[in-house]
Chain A
Amino acid sequence: MSPPQSQWQIAWRHLRRNPLALFGLYVLLSLVMIALAAPILTSIDPTDMDYESILAAPSHQHIFGTDDLGRDIFSRVLWGGRESLRVGLLAVAIAVIGGTIVGMISGYFGGKADMLMQRAQEIITAIPSILLILSILAVFGVGLNTALVALGIVSIPWFSRIARGATLAIKSMEYISAAQALGANHVRILVLHVRILVLHVLPNIAAPLISAATLALGYAIMAAAGLSYIGLGAQPPSPEWGAMLNAGSGYLRDAWWMSIFPGLFLFFTVLSINLLGDGLVVALDPKLRQ
């Protein structure tokens, strides 16, 4: 007989047998490593302008070529990876933390708090997310940091829905009632509720949140690059992939490399995250595993 396994071990066993998800995981890990190792992999500063070689085609010296200001695209793409990962992770963190808190409170306490939060989210989701992001950028100013906060906020309802549903499902279970029954004192009720939410509810709703967060990461990275591409995100001279593509779109006829390499990295990053996310959705859901 094999020893009992935790749900995480079971999930990992499932993921290991999914070649597409594994491929996604390895590609993603390599991209993260390349981004982190940027200072080791290239000695050229991403904002260094070399006026001797403006719009130079890929060569030994500049393997991805140079841009309109003579900056090395290889170096910019590597450093840009850090920028994209930072933006994506922070935006998802805002969405997951915000959504989990809202959803758990909604589902656990129910009643008026639940009603109020549900209605508020109905209104937020009734506004197309790109327009919501644009209005946040208009009010609070254009830039990558505002963009990532806006991206995080518009994704909150996604996570709160998952957290609320999952909380409702386990609220009625006996171990929650037992934990509730143990605390009679009025003062300790609130502390107890928080304890129950963090110690009992959170670990049990972590799985669906993780798979959703992975898919949201791909969306956030892609959307942030899109906003930078139209000029509302990263500002020059930041080596951000979307901003690089924006610069490249002025030189489609003369310098294809400006538009190809940042886009390829962006595409493979999002693709690997989606492959992994798709695998996680199945691996982390006991119903889908069968």
Chain B
Amino acid sequence: MIKYVFIRLLTIIPVLFGVMVFTFVIFQFLPGDPAADMLGPLATPEKIAEVRAELGLDDPLWVQFGSFLTNAMRGDLGTSFRGQRPVLQEILSRFPETLKLTFSGMTIAVFGGVGAGIIATVSKNKWLERFMLVFTLGGLSIPSFWLAIISILIFSVGLNWFSATGGDGWKDLILPSFVIAAGPAAVLARTTRTSLLQVTRAEYVRTARAKGASERRVLLKHILSNAMIPIVTVIGLQIADLMTGAVFIESVFARSGVGRLAITAVFSRDYPMIRGIVIFGAFVYIFVNLFIDLLYGVLDPRIRYE
């Protein structure tokens, strides 16, 4: 197992390096002068030249990339234009807000989605299954930001149960959590169904039944435990998505997470901030995926030996 972990860790190094190259290169396409952008329209040419030298913008590209990389490795992703604060510090101060929403939403999605998937498949009721398929397709097709608007119209404006936006209490988390859970729950319900159907046809399930194992035991021990791998994958991918991309929901409900920080940064042309968020997001994404991979090794010993 230790060897497996070590090998997997080694494989992400080139990807991380690639992400750094990519983010460095794409921001080279920026029109204009970063130093002038940073100082604003009132800056004198001398001041701009001074800042350019300070930022190393006159150095050859590979030197700039080198310092960009070594700085990043020390946790220095630059200083934001807007707040003049270290980018990483700003991102980390917003991250808990995004995590809160991710985990409350995913809890709802896992229980709702996997539960619905199991019930619809195990019941063998054609109508229930059809209903679930249509319902989940609706969940996948409804734009999350519109679902958020509708839920505010119904529960805040109409019924007055929740305040529409803002607020930091647990009550303010309910509406966004349910809205953000809709898509992942739909994906999970479908994955659960497909996975269960595949495993149900497996030979070891027939063997278990032939041995005379009880239906309950077959379901829990033989079917569910084997059907878990694709489900865990999808849960992991959805968590990674929400942690890095709750952009729309955070925007509708005016929650100050990383997603909204990214949007503000695009509007205010705060390039160090955008670049920092992209790097941060990619790191989170890569490490969540790595964690899922390692989890496979635990769930399915066969994978470790490949």
CA distance A130 to B157 in the complex (A): 30
Q: Which residue of B lies closest to A269 (CB)?
A: B141
Q: Hey, what's the 0/1 contact readout for B239-283 against A, CB within 8 Å counting as 1?
A: 011001101100110000000001101110101001101100110
Pick the interface stretch among B11-19, B44-52, B110-118, B218-226. B11-19
Q: Which residue of A lies closest to B251 (CB)?
A: A230
Q: Which residue of B lies closest to A268 (CB)?
A: B141
Distance in angstroms from A153 CB to nearest chain B CB is 11
Q: Hey, what's the 0/1 contact readout for A217-243 against B, CB within 8 Å counting as 1?
A: 010001001100111100000000010
Q: Which residue of A lies closest to B280 (CB)?
A: A131
Pick the interface stretch among B24-32, B66-74, B200-208, B292-300. B24-32
CA distance A130 to B30 in the complex (A): 19
Pick the interface stretch among A70-78, A138-146, A201-209. A138-146
For residue B22, CB closer than 8 A to chain A, the reply is yes
For residue B149, CB closer than 8 A to chain A, the reply is yes
CA distance A233 to B247 in the complex (A): 14
A-B contact pairs, 26 of them (CB 8 A): A119-B14, A120-B18, A123-B15, A123-B19, A126-B286, A127-B282, A127-B285, A134-B263, A135-B23, A135-B275, A135-B278, A136-B26, A138-B269, A139-B26, A139-B27, A142-B267, A218-B141, A231-B263, A232-B263, A245-B145, A245-B146, A252-B156, A259-B153, A267-B143, A273-B141, A274-B141
A230 B263 Cβ-Cβ under 8 A: yes
Distance in angstroms from A18 CB to nearest chain B CB is 12
Residues of A within 8 A of B108 (CB): none
Pick the interface stretch among B99-107, B121-129, B132-140. B132-140
Which A residues are closer than 8 A to B by beta carbons? 20, 119-120, 122-124, 126-132, 134-140, 142, 218, 222, 225-226, 229-232, 242, 245, 248-249, 252-253, 256, 259-260, 263, 266-267, 270-271, 273-275, 278
Q: Which residue of A lies closest to B248 (CB)?
A: A226
User: Which of B21, B149, B266 interacts with A138 by CB under 8 Å?
Assistant: B266
CA distance A20 to B144 in the complex (A): 23
A270 B164 Cβ-Cβ under 8 A: no
CA distance A129 to B267 in the complex (A): 18
Q: Which residue of A lies closest to B156 (CB)?
A: A252
For residue B61, CB closer than 8 A to chain A, the reply is no
CA distance A136 to B26 in the complex (A): 8
CA distance A229 to B251 in the complex (A): 9
Residues of A within 8 A of B134 (CB): 20
B137 A226 Cβ-Cβ under 8 A: no
7 pairs of A and B residues whose beta carbons are closest in the complex: A123-B18, A271-B141, A263-B146, A128-B244, A130-B245, A270-B141, A131-B281
B29 A230 Cβ-Cβ under 8 A: no
How many of chain B's residues touch chain A, expressed as a range?
35 or more
B153 A256 Cβ-Cβ under 8 A: yes
Distance in angstroms from A214 CB to nearest chain B CB is 13
Residues of A within 8 A of B244 (CB): 128, 130-131
CA distance A135 to B152 in the complex (A): 30
A139 B30 Cβ-Cβ under 8 A: yes
Residue of B27, B156, B248 contacting most chain A CB atoms (<10 Å): B248
Q: Which residue of B lies closest to A253 (CB)?
A: B157
Starting from the known contacts A132-B278, A245-B145, 9 additional A-B residue pairs (CB-CB under 8 Å) come to: A20-B133, A20-B134, A126-B286, A127-B278, A130-B244, A131-B277, A139-B26, A142-B267, A252-B164
Residues of B within 8 A of A248 (CB): 149
A130 B141 Cβ-Cβ under 8 A: no
Residues of A within 8 A of B143 (CB): 222, 225-226, 263, 266-267, 270
Asked whether A119 and B157 contact (CB < 8 A) given A138-B274, A267-B143, the answer is no
Distance in angstroms from B158 CB to nearest chain A CB is 9
For residue B142, CB closer than 8 A to chain A, the reply is yes
Residues of B within 8 A of A218 (CB): 141
Q: Which residue of A lies closest to B20 (CB)?
A: A123
B19 A126 Cβ-Cβ under 8 A: yes
A249 B252 Cβ-Cβ under 8 A: yes
Residue of B134, B146, B150, B275 contacting most chain A CB atoms (<10 Å): B146
